[in-house]
Structure 1
Amino acid sequence: MSAADVIRRFTFHPADTTARRQEHEDVRTMCLDLGLYLDEQLPAGAEKQAAMCRLEEVMFWANAAIARQPKES
């Protein structure tokens, strides 16, 4: 791993365009909708808790993918 990789991973990447801000919002909205659906449909238990944690991870990594792409010029 290079220093550039470490810097990329651990620095803030603000949304630099309206389109990217909307992409972040879309990901959050879709994950929220799925989270609410799963909360209603799944029985309580470790599996439901794991599904919700993984959905949080999905939201995090999807937003990281949006944020970490090269800036638009």
Structure 2
Amino acid sequence: MHQSHERVTNDFAYHPATGMMAELHDSVRQNFASLAHWVVENAPRGYAREQAIIRLREAMMWTNAAIACDSNSNEVVPQSPTQ
């Protein structure tokens, strides 16, 4: 992936969550937490379960980064978290 100076500046900038974006971040956390609880309740203890939780945390962080850093993209139009 080619990184431009503009992209690097955007990726390392602070992106405050306001309005709809704050709601989307909350929705992301709630949905990933719900799935993580399901994994804890249904998967046997062990390395695989721990890795599943780690990967869910990672996916949650990447999702929130996409919302924060790529919110000016024309590819995704934010929707209400309940949709």
Q: Same fold (TM over 0.5)?
A: yes
Give the percent of matched residue pairs that are identical in Structure 1 and Structure 2.
36
Alignment: residue pair count: 70
Structure 1: gaps spanning 5 or more residues: none
2:12 corresponding residue in structure 1: 10
Greater helix share, 1 or 2?
1
The two structures have a TM-score, normalised by structure 1, of 0.87
Structure 2: gaps spanning 5 or more residues: 73-83
Instruction: Work out the CA distance in 2 between the residues paired with 1:63 and 1:42.
Output: 26
Instruction: Work out the CA distance in 2 between the residues paired with 1:47 and 1:10.
Output: 32
Detail structure 1 runs of 4+ shifted over 3 Å in the superposition: none
Instruction: Work out the CA distance in 2 between the residues paired with 1:2 and 1:62.
Output: 21
* 1:8 partner SS: helix
Q: Give the alignment's Cα RMSD to 1 decimal.
A: 1.4
The two structures have a TM-score, normalised by structure 2, of 0.77
Question: Following TM superposition, by how much is the alpha carbon of 1:6 offset from its aligned partner in structure 2, in angstroms?
Answer: 1.2
* 1:13 partner SS: coil
Instruction: Work out the CA distance in 2 between the residues paired with 1:46 and 1:12.
Output: 35
2:64 corresponding residue in structure 1: 63
